[in-house]
């Protein structure tokens, strides 16, 4: 069985927790996009695991795969592998030979372009964009080349003069070939053992009736095509892109789980129709600990946007929804949800394709009575009636059933519906 878990908002929806929760019944967990610009947090008892590249299934000692669509910072990946080993985790890791390697010059270029730009994207400056740009330009270095010293040396020697010239245009000095090799060759030796054809491995696993869980990074509204371009990520976080990344037929995908917070957050620049300011935004931010796992930046806060969620459900084809952080809204007297936009006298039920139009949209809200969420619940029946009404409205507006509700950071604070 093949299941995809994808973000339905601007990322940071709590996908890591949902993947960890579902991983108990999975055999293989696959990260299919992004790089260490993502941050997935898993809380198990008094232990907190923060991943940027490793699939969240590593906490449950599952077979973990990094697909061809992942951009790999080898230094970050090695540190996460070593961290997991120290905590006693015994996972099996497979890295697709086709995955791209983030090089030091990618990181420098990412920071330089963002600092010089008048319209800042809000990049994490981790080198993700330049890495994917090199893939498209066919000048990138793939994992299979990285772990073969002779080929790696040849590829680096060929591309470095162009990167040096590009960095010089920003007044930045490019690291020397010797410096890069001194840092990256030892990392390559440590990671070589994990090289695999992930596409072929997954095909065989699915034929053997193994349960495969696909873990996405970022979210629908950061998709490079369907998101709020240009304020988007450089990879494709949507379900259809997951299949291209792992190299598996779309016919084999059975479940597509969209993950959304009970409210909405965004990091970086770009349109945010339901954004809140002032004390209410501060209250939600602090209660929800809405600070980036990767950068530590404070996240922008807004009410739940069902126009966004409705469009995400349509494009991804969600078979179900997982709602996270319902507890953060606990204690508010009133809770609002945006079910439509107002644009030039028109009512919109779907996100407009043009970002400049989206930036001018105004939210149309439905107000709900607040609710108090218990710290522990045995079933959905323990939810307050006001919370149930809120969730039913989400289901109706998105034409998608909610199957999971998370009301706290721990694995046990999750309800199946």
Please report which confidence band the pLDDT of residue 372 belongs to, taking 50, 70 and 90 as the band edges: very high
* The pLDDT of residue 342 is above 80: yes
What is the reported pLDDT for 87?
A: 84
Say if CB 42 and CB 56 are below 8 A apart: yes
* Nearest of 352, 135, 324, 117 to residue 236 by alpha carbon: 135
Average pLDDT over residues 359-378: 94
**Active-site residue flag, 134:** no
Tell me whether strands 320-324 and 28-31 are parallel, antiparallel or unpaired.
unpaired
Cα separation, 210 vs 29, in Å, equals: 11
CATH class of the region 100-194? mainly alpha
CATH of 2-91+197-416, one of 3.90.170.10, 3.40.50.10580, 3.40.50.620, 3.40.710.10: 3.90.170.10
Cα separation, 77 vs 83, in Å, equals: 10
In our burial notation (b when 16+ CB lie closer than 10 A, e otherwise), range 263-302 reads bbbbbbbbbbbbbbeeeebeebbeebebebebbeeebbbb
Please report which confidence band the pLDDT of residue 179 belongs to, taking 50, 70 and 90 as the band edges: very high
Q: Dihedral through CA 327, CA 332, CA 333, CA 338, nearest 10? A: -80
Average pLDDT over residues 62-90: 92
Say if CB 372 and CB 383 are below 8 A apart: no
Domain 100-194 in the same topology as domain 2-91+197-416: no
List Cα–Cα distances, 22 to 102, 149, 206, 252, in angstroms: 30, 38, 17, 18
Cα separation, 192 vs 101, in Å, equals: 13
| Domain coordinates in residue numbering, the chain | 2-91+197-416, 100-194
The reported pTM is 0.91
Computed over every residue of the chain, the mean pLDDT equals 93
Q: What is the pLDDT of residues 217-268, one digit of tens each?
A: 999 999 999 999 999 999 999 999 999 999 999 999 999 999 999 999 999 8
Tell me whether strands 334-343 and 362-369 are parallel, antiparallel or unpaired.
antiparallel
What is the reported pLDDT for 417?
A: 86
What is the reported pLDDT for 315?
A: 97
* The pLDDT of residue 116 is above 70: no
380 CB-contact burial (10 Å; exposed 0-12 / middle 13-18 / buried 19+)? middle
Q: What is the pLDDT of residues 11-70, one digit of tens each?
A: 999 998 999 899 889 999 999 999 988 777 777 777 787 889 998 888 888 899 999 999
Q: Which residue in 20, 40, 106, 223 is the catalytic one?
A: 40
- CB-based contacts of 103-106 (< 8 A; 24+ apart in sequence): 103/127, 103/131, 103/141, 103/156, 103/163, 103/180, 103/184, 104/175, 104/180, 104/183, 105/130, 105/160, 105/163, 105/164, 105/166, 105/167, 105/174, 105/175, 106/130, 106/131, 106/134
3-state secondary structure at position 400: coil
* The pLDDT of residue 10 is above 90: yes
Q: What is the pLDDT of residues 259-287, one digit of tens each?
A: 999 999 999 899 999 999 999 999 999 99
Asked if the peptide bond before residue 386 counts as cis, ω within 30 degrees of 0, the response is: no
What is the reported pLDDT for 357?
A: 96
Cα separation, 374 vs 407, in Å, equals: 9
Say if CB 73 and CB 126 are below 8 A apart: yes
Q: Which residue in 12, 110, 223, 305 is the catalytic one?
A: 12
Task: Please state, as a whole number, how many other Cβ atoms lie within 10 Å of the Cβ of residue 168.
Answer: 11
């Amino acid at each position: 069985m093949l299941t995809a878990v994808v973000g339905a908002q601007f990322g940071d929806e709590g996908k890591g927790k949902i993947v960890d929760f579902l991983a108990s019944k999975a055999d293989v967990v696959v990260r299919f996009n992004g790089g260490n610009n993502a941050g997935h947090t898993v809380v198990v008892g008094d232990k907190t695991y923060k991943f940027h590249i490793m699939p969240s299934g590593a906490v449950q000692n599952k077979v973990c795969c990094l697909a061809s669509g992942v951009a790999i910072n080898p230094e970050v990946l090695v540190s996460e592998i070593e961290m997991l080993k120290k905590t006693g985790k015994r996972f099996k890791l497979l890295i697709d030979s086709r995955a791209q390697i983030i090089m030091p010059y990618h990181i420098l270029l990412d920071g330089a372009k963002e600092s010089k730009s008048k319209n800042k994207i809000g990049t994490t400056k981790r080198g993700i964009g330049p890495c994917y740009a090199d893939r498209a330009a066919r000048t990138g270095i793939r994992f299979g080349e990285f772990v073969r010293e002779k080929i790696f040396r040849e590829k680096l020697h060929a591309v470095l003069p162009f990167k040096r010239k590009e960095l010089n245009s920003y007044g930045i000095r490019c690291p020397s070939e010797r410096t890069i090799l001194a840092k990256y060759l030892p990392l390559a030796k440590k990671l070589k053992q994990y090289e695999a054809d992930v596409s072929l491995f997954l095909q065989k696993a699915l034929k053997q009736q193994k349960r495969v869980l696909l873990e996405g990074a970022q979210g629908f509204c950061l998709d490079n095509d369907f998101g709020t371009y240009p304020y988007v990520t450089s990879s494709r976080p949507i379900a259809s892109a997951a299949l291209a990344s792992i190299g598996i037929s779309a016919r084999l995908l059975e479940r597509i789980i969209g993950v959304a917070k009970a409210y909405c957050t965004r990091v970086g620049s770009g349109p945010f129709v339901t954004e809140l300011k002032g004390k209410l935004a501060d209250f939600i931010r602090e209660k929800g600990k809405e600070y980036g796992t990767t950068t530590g930046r404070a996240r922008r806060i807004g009410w739940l946007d069902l126009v966004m969620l409705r469009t995400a459900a349509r494009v991804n084809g969600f078979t179900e929804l997982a709602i996270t952080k319902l507890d953060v809204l606990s204690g508010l007297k009133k809770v609002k949800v945006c079910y439509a936009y107002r644009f030039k006298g028109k009512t919109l039920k779907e996100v407009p394709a043009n970002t400049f139009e989206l930036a001018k949209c105004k939210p149309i809200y439905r107000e709900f009575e607040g609710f108090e969420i218990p710290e522990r619940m045995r079933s959905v029946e323990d939810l307050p009636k006001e919370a149930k009404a809120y969730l039913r409205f989400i289901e109706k507006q998105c034409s998608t059933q909610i199957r999971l509700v998370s009301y706290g950071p721990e694995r046990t604070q999750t309800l199946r519906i």
